[in-house]
Chain A
Amino acid sequence: MGVYSREEIEAIYRRNFKLVYQICLVLMKNVPDAEDAAQTVFGRVMERGKPFRDPEHEKAWLIVTARNQCRDQLKHWWRRCREDASALDALAWEEPSDGLVWDQVAALPDKHRLVLFLHYYEGYATDEIAQMLGDNPSTVRSRLVQARKKLKLRLEAEGYGTT
């Protein structure tokens, strides 16, 4: 049993579920698996033997745990069943072109998708991402460059922004 009460768990969950779920969805690329992964991440919070130092520590721990959980799930047997390839069709895109952007982001390697999300959407600097994920800062910068380049090429190939 962990150090947090049920109320504290719920508070941590409310503060961070959106972030954790989005990371899981970016990595797992389908809604049911993202929900499973996010649930497992907060299950780990329930098992924690010591409290987080501060909100930043809490957030960083959740990001890394979400990444690790998705990595584990992606190695499991049912990952290749792949029946969820179109599971995001049900999402309500604000603009129809957002679906096209997602398709091209989803086609990138998972490490590229994660740094795109953390850098552009969550606003983390590459050095911060590197520290958090235990990677070399130059590796993270390189992934970001590669991700941008690949995304640009893929979107151009799809005719994005040409009309």
Chain B
Amino acid sequence: MEQHELNRMFDALAPTQEQEQAVLDRLLRTEREVIPMKKLKKLTVIGIAAALMVISCAAAVVTGIDQRILEYFGSGQEQAELLVSCALPVDITTEDNGAVFHVSQVLMDRYSLTLLADFTAPEGTVLDETKENLRFDMYAHQINQSGKRFTPYAGWSNLQTLLDDGDPLDNHLTVLYQMLPDLGFQPDDGLKSIELIVKHLALRHYEDDGRHNDPVFLGDWSCQIPFTWQDMGLSVSPNQVVGQLGGEDVVLTEVYLSPMSLNIRLKHSHDSDLEQVFDCDNVVLTSGDGETVPITIVDRSSWYDRFYHLNKIIDPSQLQGGTLTLTIGGEIVDIPLDGLVPVE
């Protein structure tokens, strides 16, 4: 490829005159007007000023894993028992604007929180779950023992998926939400609860003048999820040199495994450069009996960690004696998983 071909491609990334003007117009307006979500909030004030919000929470005992979560993780009832150890006892219902948001299940390991909820709008409402980009304004905060929002040093991610509930045009939605803290939930952080913010079902779309959120159903179904979790994962700290970068060692410091997840932590004096040598798409997890466990990378944003979903639920103790195979700088490195121990 010639340089002019590369530059021709970069040329095509230039903004149009209309884009340039639209962004300038937004910039010079007041801040209140320029942020699309603010527009939504204004509508909300009008729309739900008289709405009644009722929150009721009740403790529950985890007796089983919802079939819909099992399907999401590609597993059946035979693996359900493995997930019970990751489940928080929740049965939380919030109601606003005539709609009910019911959190029925929460699963946690050190690097992920997965939540299943059902949203039911008043009878006769049509919520078209086939619409792409239909999503709640939904995110989570960690709450410490003082009741304040705890902001970890590293970032975190949120994923939201509407599950097929068999009737895409009724008044009901099933939502699966995941919070993925980059460095994991830390026992030392003294967490008390997870504050789940759930507001407004909206249809997100993009126009020439930017991103828009068209309200579909307004309300506030936020709630608190008590943090009663114990980390049931296994980990090993090989502290093994797995490659070189810029003349310095790349060290594998931790491998974490739960029934749902694999997290790999590498260390180098320039963590941000690890992506130059670590081929995160070429990671192979093999169990103690030689079976390959399929995995999917989820989060590439952390400089320190690489996080994977296991594509099937597995008892992490089955990985004892197995192998983690990494590709670093083009070289294949096998890490024996011999010393997996409970993290707590």
- Mark A residues whose CB is within 8 Å of B: 6, 9-10, 13-14, 17-18, 21-22, 25-26, 31-32, 35-36, 38-39, 42-43, 46, 74-81, 83-84, 87, 91-95, 97-98, 101-102, 105, 109, 111, 116-117, 120-121, 138-139, 142-143, 146, 151-152, 155, 160-161
| B282 at interface by CB-CB < 8 Å | no
> Nearest chain-B residue to A42 (Cβ)?
B27
| 14 other A-B residue contacts (CB within 8 Å) besides A83-B204, A98-B8 | A9-B27, A10-B28, A18-B15, A35-B19, A36-B211, A39-B27, A43-B31, A79-B301, A80-B158, A97-B5, A101-B1, A142-B276, A151-B1, A160-B1
Shortest Cβ distance from residue A23 to the other chain B in the assembled complex, whole angstroms:
9
> Nearest chain-A residue to B7 (Cβ)?
A121
Shortest Cβ distance from residue B248 to the other chain A in the assembled complex, whole angstroms:
12
- A74-B301 CB under 8 A given contacts A94-B11, A98-B12: yes
Complex interface: chain B residues within 8 A of A121 (CB): 6-7, 10
Complex interface: chain A residues within 8 A of B210 (CB): 32, 35-36
Shortest Cβ distance from residue B107 to the other chain A in the assembled complex, whole angstroms:
18
Complex interface: chain B residues within 8 A of A14 (CB): 20
Complex interface: chain A residues within 8 A of B11 (CB): 94
Q: Which 4 A-B pairs have the closest CB atoms?
A: A75-B155, A77-B158, A80-B157, A32-B211
Is B12 in contact with A77, judged by CB distance below 8 angstroms?
A: no
Shortest Cβ distance from residue A152 to the other chain B in the assembled complex, whole angstroms:
7
Q: In the bound complex, how far is the Cα of B25 from the Cα of A39, in angstroms? A: 10
| B133 at interface by CB-CB < 8 Å | yes
Interface residues of A, dominant DSSP: helix
Complex interface: chain B residues within 8 A of A25 (CB): 13
What are 14 inter-chain pairs, A to B, with CB distance below 8 A? A13-B27, A14-B20, A17-B23, A22-B13, A26-B13, A75-B182, A81-B159, A81-B160, A101-B1, A105-B6, A117-B10, A120-B7, A120-B10, A139-B246
Is A101 in contact with B9, judged by CB distance below 8 angstroms?
A: yes
| B26 at interface by CB-CB < 8 Å | yes
Q: In the bound complex, how far is the Cα of B9 from the Cα of A98, in angstroms? A: 5
Shortest Cβ distance from residue A101 to the other chain B in the assembled complex, whole angstroms:
4
Q: In the bound complex, how far is the Cα of B36 from the Cα of A80, in angstroms? A: 19
Q: In the bound complex, how far is the Cα of B309 from the Cα of A46, in angstroms? A: 43
Shortest Cβ distance from residue B36 to the other chain A in the assembled complex, whole angstroms:
9
> Nearest chain-B residue to A90 (Cβ)?
B206
> Nearest chain-A residue to B158 (Cβ)?
A77
Shortest Cβ distance from residue B16 to the other chain A in the assembled complex, whole angstroms:
9
Complex interface: chain B residues within 8 A of A161 (CB): 1
